[in-house]
Structure 1
Amino acid sequence: MAAAAPTRRDADRTRSWWGWGYTDAQPDDAECAALGALLPGTLSRPLPVPRVADLSMGRPAVTPPTSLTHLVTADPVERAAHAQGKAYRDIARALRGRPARLPDLVAHPHCDQDVADLLHWAGEHQVAVIPFGGGSSVVGGVEYRGDAHRAVLSLDTTRMDRVLEIDHTSRSARIQAGALGPALEDQLRPHGLTLRHFPQSFEFSTLGGWLATRAGGHYATGRTHIDDFVQSLTVITPAGTGTSWRLPASGAGPSPDRLFLGSEGTLGVITEAWMRLQQRPRHKSSAAVAFADFGRALDAVRDIAQSDLAPANCRLLDPGEALLAGASRDGSSILVLGFESATAPTDAHLEAARDLARAHGGTTPPHDAPGTPKPPDAPGAPSPRNASTTAVDAWRSTFLRMPYLRDGLARMGAVVETFETATTWDRLPALVDAVRTEIGHAAQKATGHQATINCRLTHVYPDGAAPYFTVAVAGRPGDEVAVWDDIKAVAADVLHRHRATITHHHAVGRDHRPAYDLQRPNPFALALQATKDALDPHHILNPGVLID
């Protein structure tokens, strides 16, 4: 069954080329100054918002053939907006007038044949091709580094954004990879269905980006990654196009889908996927539990993860994270629990999870947090005016607003960034302690200022969890990127020594390459390199990501 064409949400709003989200949602100068006042040592006034007109922008080094000119643009704003992702170092470079190398051209293919034609031309003319979805990468995954190619083409897939077909019997849909999160859900909603994959970047990221980076989404337990929803992929490579069979499961050798999930655009361009859908949930329940001791909170979360309750949300905020989110003011850690179902009430499951938490000293937090109205089903959707302001609501609201606040602090010269990982439960407490201690020392050494280091658990499993760290410290004026690079190098070393992955869901990109090279087994690296050579013989696809 064919689905309706996507609706264009927020068509009259302007995306920021240098920062997160929409320009009209960015903090103004007064809010930036107020944020900076919370972090001693920041600038006295915010850095100006950068302008495309101030960038040094040469002429494109190549000219596409007339058969492709309708797909390609050299517009300065497009080139600037496609030069890099949305990591802190991207924001800081743009604010100082030093963004990543601008692509020579930006392409907007409409169909698979357009993609194949663009790859063919690029291969013949030594043009690097950087697949680009919503541009929300925080690991250097959509920028070009080096000078091995004649020119750079950013291949933006967002005009390939339709739900092409829905199979109600098998409850799945064939979806073009350029569909942004809101457009995807808008097309499924009339059918009572949902993909229900809501990463923090939901508004500004695409299905193809989720697949190429193995994104983590809505569920804190169980189906935590986009991998769990994939039924089949269509991928276009310089060596040809392949589509895997639609199957509920298969034991026929290594999975072809697994080869491209997490390939980050370096092996091929994902253009379509059959995705497993769900009925929209009708029953939901949520609660917050407070803990005076973070260690006991970890024990409670482990018990819940090892039960058969499978909460949709099971996120633990340490005292600093809880204070930042407005979920706690008294130094407590806050556990945010949520359950949902399309078929049955969830209150009993919620109460059982709360009982497990209470057994480890969990209590009900005071409901005086200064939260804002609770967003409904999907991140980024308008909030109801009369919603409550509990600790859960406060966390949800801050979760969605945080990238904008990060940009505001960056304008004040602060270094504010996150990194995430995953490790087993037996290693987790020592890892958290080491991160706080060693990153704290590194930040103090690099800046002369004391850093704020917060931790939350974003996803939990029976055998381990994914801690997510936030670092905030006043930077060295004009040298903020170098400060973060020094801190991040220490973080990578800590993770490696504690056998924690360099990334649970942010991907590898270019920023995580050194740590990724240490983590992966050498025979696998050899196989990956051979695959790259076979599928991309001219080495034009996202050079430098995953492999040389």
Structure 2
Amino acid sequence: MTEVKHMKWWGWGDDGIAFEHRDKPAFAPFVRKAIGLDVTAPAATARPFDALDVPESHLDPALRDELAGIVGAEHVHTDTMSRVVHTFGKSIRDLLRVRSGTLERTPDVVVYPGDEDEVQRLVDAAVAANAVVIPFGGGTNISGSLEPATDEERGVVSLDLGRLNQVLDVDEDSGLARIQAGAQGPDLERQLGEHGWTLGHFPDSFAHSTLGGWVATRSSGMQSDKYGDIADIVRGFRLVRPGGVVTIRPIPSTSTGPSVREMVVGSEGRLGVITEATVHVHRIPEVREIFGYLFPSWEAGLAAMRDIAESDASPSVTRVSDARETAFSFATRTASKKKITSLGSQALMALLRRRGWDLDQVCLSFIGYEGSASHVKYEKKLVKRIVGKHGGIGLGRGPGELYDQKKFDTPYIRDFLLDRGAAADVSETAAPWSKLRQLYEHTVAAAHSAYDDLGVQGWIMCHLSHSYHSGACLYFTFAFVHGEEPLKQYDHVKSAIQQAFIDAGGTLSHHHAVGVEHAPWLAQDISPEGVALMRGLFESADPRSNFNPDKIISPS
């Protein structure tokens, strides 16, 4: 049996870890007010795995024998659990389908190669047999980038890179590290950290996602303001294709025609299998701090983030939540065991009232600083001046430390709500600074209009999560209590939000990729001619559609 660890088949994260609301006294009242759900009621009984209706594997015995001859029989799996775990990612659509008990199509086999040579031989064998190859990292994807097409009649091979999990080399003079594609976030950071290095890439999925998955989906991390998105971080890679390996060397800059590196970054497995990447790494900073701030309004928070982006400051994190998400954050705080903490919070709220703040419009912000002590001191001074200019106040390290501790826990809340009949999911976009306010308002209005269509009480909240020279990412979370047709209801709300992004000048996704979930909006995003150009690339590079077909571009 493989030693590669996977998340639970029915939800996010590790078995035995779940969101707990009973130590958060404000959470239940908040959810009842937001979407009309009583979270104190018993959760629905989970469907046992044995009750799932899973199609049989239709793997050709000859192909199975060939795969086993390459990696060993112990690394070739056709059991039901392995195939279910590798069928979907972790979007709300994925979880609703797998929990419903019916899976129309699963991979026919899951294979775990141990090195690049085995990947090459597996790819060659699968393509020779005209099978479908779907690369698999941590399974965290939420845009449908992993699922086989329901009408796929060929054999489907899920190629799990989990055994390729090592930091191979660090070029200390250049700040470059060669890392195998199957390395999950905690593992690669631990290996780098042992030698004083960090990649600095911390997406929400960090605890379970892989380097190869980040590259394949153009991932962003919480500290991308400093370290860049994965497209900035990855300098080279090795991509296995039928008969050979595409090798992109980690050159700082080059003028070699259209960028093959850029073609592969974000390609979601459609061009081949990434086996390793060479990435920028940095020395672990002397100081790393995240400070909390409060702004009197969403408009003030957005303006402050824009001014920080234009300033000489270069924080690692610039994040501000709207009033709705701020209320949610306050509602998820645990009950304080220190009376002084409670009293301090009450005193702050009283002070803000005296200043004339509308406490229902307060917006919470987190800004991160990294570097030498003198550099961090300088940056905090610059940011303090900008925050003050926009009427904000500093809260110190305490809220930032709490944010740092629970930043990867939010997906567990989604599962908690789903257990109780509520659908909660996320959609994110990016747009120029000049369009952010309009985009925000248009999206919120579109979501509420969709809720009205369904006759449900819904919630939508937002934060700005990544700042750039010309604009920023807005990250929306939405939730509602679903009825007997949850997928139909979800589609209506999700589609309204996605269309609002496009109509207001945003992109269909900032860092969650295209997959099949966002493909319907691609032509509106990059133009029909842009889609035609991309389609030509895929059809030329993979004429029989053996590599993860139908992702990014919908079938013609």
Determine the structure 2 residue equivalent to 1:68.
67
Q: Map Cα deviations across residues 428-456 of structure 1 (whole Å, 9 max, x no partner).
A: 1111111111201202322x222111110
Determine the structure 2 residue equivalent to 1:504.
510
SS class of match (1:221): helix
Determine the structure 2 residue equivalent to 1:188.
192
Correspondence for 2:213 among 184, 209, 213: 209
Q: Distance in 1 between matches of 2:185 and 2:104?
A: 26
Q: Distance in 2 between matches of 1:397 and 1:93?
A: 31
Determine the structure 1 residue equivalent to 2:18.
26
Matches within 5 A, 1:521-536: 521-536=527-542
Shift of 1:516: 1.4
**Are the equivalent residues in 2 in contact too, given 1:42–1:474 (CA < 8 A)?**
no
Determine the structure 1 residue equivalent to 2:142.
138
Change (3 A) 1:358 1:394: same
Correspondence for 1:454 among 447, 461, 464: 461
Q: Which amino acid aligns with 1:60?
A: S
SS class of match (1:315): strand
SS class of match (1:459): strand
User: Greater shift after overlay, 41-50 or 451-460?
Assistant: 41-50
Pair 1:275-2:279 in alignment: yes
Q: Distance in 2 between matches of 1:325 and 1:224?
A: 26
TM-score, normalising length from structure 2? 0.87
Determine the structure 1 residue equivalent to 2:384.
354
Q: Distance in 2 between matches of 1:228 and 1:255?
A: 13
Q: Distance in 2 between matches of 1:438 and 1:537?
A: 40
Q: Distance in 2 between matches of 1:12 and 1:157?
A: 9
Determine the structure 1 residue equivalent to 2:480.
473
Matches within 5 A, 1:311-390: 311-326=315-330, 330-331=359-360, 332-341=362-371, 344-365=374-395, 390=398
Shift of 1:100: 6.0
**Are the equivalent residues in 1 in contact too, given 2:414–2:425 (CA < 8 A)?**
yes
Pair 1:428-2:436 in alignment: yes
Determine the structure 2 residue equivalent to 1:374.
none
SS class of match (1:25): coil
Shift of 1:41: 4.6
TM-score, normalising length from structure 1? 0.88
| Structure 1 vs Structure 2 CA RMSD | 2.5
SS class of match (1:473): strand
Determine the structure 2 residue equivalent to 1:443.
451
**Are the equivalent residues in 2 in contact too, given 1:264–1:545 (CA < 8 A)?**
yes
Q: Which amino acid aligns with 2:366?
A: V
Question: Any runs of at least 4 consecutive aligned residues in structure 1 with deviations exceeding 6 A, and if so which?
Answer: 11-14, 28-33
Q: Distance in 2 between matches of 1:342 and 1:192?
A: 15
Shift of 1:42: 6.3
Q: Map Cα deviations across residues 468-514 of structure 1 (whole Å, 9 max, x no partner).
A: 011111111x3212111111111121111112000000100110001
Q: Which amino acid aligns with 2:469?
A: P
Q: Map Cα deviations across residues 322-366 of structure 1 (whole Å, 9 max, x no partner).
A: 22222898431012111101574402211211210110111235x
Identity %: 31
Shift of 1:15: 3.0
**Are the equivalent residues in 2 in contact too, given 1:220–1:458 (CA < 8 A)?**
no
Pair 1:115-2:112 in alignment: no
Q: Distance in 2 between matches of 1:358 and 1:233?
A: 44
For this pair of structures, how many residues does the alignment match?
Answer: 515
Q: Distance in 1 between matches of 2:518 and 2:158?
A: 21
Q: Which amino acid aligns with 1:21?
A: G
Change (3 A) 1:90 1:155: same
Pair 1:46-2:50 in alignment: no
Determine the structure 2 residue equivalent to 1:520.
526
Q: Which runs of 5+ in 1 are unaligned?
A: 1-7, 368-387
Higher helix share: 2
Pair 1:402-2:401 in alignment: no
Shift of 1:36: 6.5
Q: Which amino acid aligns with 2:194?
A: P
SS class of match (1:493): helix
Pair 1:221-2:234 in alignment: no
Correspondence for 1:165 among 169, 181, 190: 169
**Are the equivalent residues in 2 in contact too, given 1:236–1:271 (CA < 8 A)?**
yes
Change (3 A) 1:235 1:220: closer
